[in-house]
């Protein structure tokens, strides 16, 4: 089964990530999407929220579609009447004809293990199994499955309707073909997504490990009164954020080292870097030791930002989308857009 042929995707669990994934899969016109969730108002919820994600997606990848020209409810009604979107009341019917089953349920080991065993029993034997978990490895989730070659993590990044990253994390026994299928699916021409295959299961995968490493130091600097939380955010936005949006960390230091690249950089800055590494914050987020920072950080962040309104979030997301739009532009050698 080629990634280029029509897919029939069963989505299990339709929270923010599930709805966002539904919009993504439906943006490919030959796909059929089956959705299942246990919430009582499921159909009304899908009718209300899906159009928001569909219109966001279309404005990003330039599909011809305007939320103004078609009332939101009629968009979902027409997807349903054309058979492209099917709303299910049982797991079994949702999975019955799937080529891909994708799960965004609770982050709970028991729930994942028993749900995958149920899915395996009702889905076609060839169907691909993807979990959107941010923390429970595929090798743990598949404990009650018969076939240990089918399941892999496809971890999106918040907000999933805007962020290009998908971390594809197979279990040691996941078949290479199934990994490649997932990678290719999200790399199709026109896709704004950037799937990356992680070679080994590790807690937090890669994106969150990098984020949590920086966060730990950020909390230490606030705890030590080197800088307050708001000023630390300003520093990040005025330096590392845009740098790493334009180039990764390794490429940046390759440039920073001049002709000798990152090797020269590590030699030149090695002294300062080692001093910083030796003195890094070693706070904890759980337990009773070295958690004093939590109260101070939470108070400063609440003071600085308060409760974020839906309108404020929209403004923030508009900026994020524009930044990602810049990343997707081509640039000629003289720096002009092409």
Residues 131-170 that bind a copy of itself (CB under 8 A): 134-135, 157-158, 163-165, 167
Whether the CB-CB separation of 46 and 69 falls below 8 Å is answered with no
Nearer CB in complex with a copy of itself: 92/231: 231
- Closest to 152 in 3D by CA, of 178, 177, 114: 178
Question: Would strands 85-88 and 151-156 be described as parallel, antiparallel, or unpaired?
Answer: unpaired
Nearer CB in complex with a copy of itself: 92/281: 281
Nearer CB in complex with a copy of itself: 145/229: 229
Q: Give the number of other CB atoms < 10 A from CB of residue 211.
A: 12
Q: 3-class SS at 280?
A: coil
Contact between 78 and a copy of itself per CB under 8 A:
no
Please give the Cα distance from 246 to 135 (Å, whole number): 28
Task: State the helix-helix crossing angle for 42-61 and 310-328, rounded to 10 degrees.
Answer: 40
Contact between 210 and a copy of itself per CB under 8 A:
yes
Whether the CB-CB separation of 242 and 326 falls below 8 Å is answered with no
Nearer CB in complex with a copy of itself: 122/197: 197
Q: Which of 34, 251, 289, 296 binds a copy of itself (CB under 8 A)?
A: 251
Q: Which of 84, 217, 289, 292 binds a copy of itself (CB under 8 A)?
A: 217
Question: Of 314-333, which residues contact a copy of itself (CB under 8 A)?
Answer: 314-320, 322-324, 326-327, 329, 331-333
Question: Of 2-31, which residues contact a copy of itself (CB under 8 A)?
Answer: none
- Angle made by CA atoms 69, 72, 76, in degrees to the nearest 5: 115
Residues 87-126: x where in contact with a copy of itself by CB under 8 A, - otherwise, as a string = ----------------------------------------
Nearer CB in complex with a copy of itself: 1/313: 313
Q: Give the number of other CB atoms < 10 A from CB of residue 276.
A: 11
Q: Which of 65, 70, 191, 208 binds a copy of itself (CB under 8 A)?
A: 208
Nearer CB in complex with a copy of itself: 92/217: 217
Q: Which of 254, 288, 289, 296 binds a copy of itself (CB under 8 A)?
A: 254
Name residue, tokens 């089956």. Answer: 34
**Minimum CB separation from a copy of itself for residue 95, in Å?**
28
Nearer CB in complex with a copy of itself: 63/262: 262
Question: Of 280-299, which residues contact a copy of itself (CB under 8 A)?
Answer: 280, 283-287, 294, 297-298
Residue 226: is it exposed, middle or buried by C-beta count within 10 angstroms (0-12/13-18/19+)? Answer: exposed
| Per rule CB under 8 A, count of chain residues that contact a copy of itself | 114
Stretch that binds a copy of itself, among 2-10, 123-131, 172-180, 260-268 (CB under 8 A): 260-268
Whether the CB-CB separation of 164 and 191 falls below 8 Å is answered with no
**Minimum CB separation from a copy of itself for residue 80, in Å?**
28
Q: Tell whether the torsion through CA atoms of 79, 82, 84 and 88 is positive or negative.
A: positive
Contact between 214 and a copy of itself per CB under 8 A:
yes
Whether the CB-CB separation of 135 and 204 falls below 8 Å is answered with yes
Give one word for 199, left, alpha or beta, with left for phi > 0 and alpha for psi -120 to 50: alpha
Q: Which of 28, 43, 227, 296 binds a copy of itself (CB under 8 A)?
A: 227
Q: Tell whether the torsion through CA atoms of 125, 127, 132 and 134 is positive or negative.
A: positive
**Minimum CB separation from a copy of itself for residue 191, in Å?**
12
């Amino acid at each position: 089964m080629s990634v280029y042929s029509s897919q029939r995707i069963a989505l299990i669990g339709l929270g923010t990530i599930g709805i966002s994934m539904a919009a993504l899969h439906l943006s490919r016109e030959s796909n059929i999407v089956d959705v299942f969730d246990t919430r009582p108002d499921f159909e009304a919820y899908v009718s209300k929220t899906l159009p928001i994600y569909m219109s966001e997606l279309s404005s990003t990848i330039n599909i011809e579609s305007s939320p103004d020209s078609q009332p939101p409810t009629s968009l979902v009604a027409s997807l349903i009447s054309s058979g492209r979107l099917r709303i299910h009341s049982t797991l079994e019917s949702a999975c019955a004809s799937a080529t891909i089953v994708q799960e965004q349920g609770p982050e709970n080991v028991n729930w994942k293990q028993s749900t995958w065993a149920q899915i395996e029993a009702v889905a076609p034997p060839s169907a691909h199994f993807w979990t959107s978990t941010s923390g429970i490895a595929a090798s743990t989730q598949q404990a009650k499955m018969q076939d240990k070659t089918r399941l892999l993590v496809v971890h999106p990044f918040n907000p999933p309707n805007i962020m290009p990253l998908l971390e594809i994390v197979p279990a040691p026994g996941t078949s290479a073909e199934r990994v490649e299928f997932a990678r290719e699916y999200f790399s199709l021409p026109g896709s704004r997504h950037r799937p990356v295959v992680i070679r080994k299961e590790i807690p937090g995968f890669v994106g969150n490990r990098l984020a949590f490493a920086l966060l730990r130091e950020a909390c230490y600097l606030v705890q030590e009164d080197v800088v307050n939380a708001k000023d630390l955010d300003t520093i990040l936005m005025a330096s590392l954020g845009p740098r790493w949006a334009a180039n990764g960390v390794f490429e940046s230091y390759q440039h920073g080292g001049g002709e000798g690249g990152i090797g020269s950089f590590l030699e030149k800055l090695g002294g300062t870097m080692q001093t910083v590494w030796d003195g890094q914050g070693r706070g904890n987020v759980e337990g009773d030791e070295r958690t004093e920072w939590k109260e101070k950080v939470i108070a400063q962040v609440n003071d600085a930002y308060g409760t974020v309104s839906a309108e404020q979030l929209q403004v923030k997301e508009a900026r994020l989308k524009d930044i990602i739009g810049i990343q997707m532009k081509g640039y000629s050698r003289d720096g002009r857009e092409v």
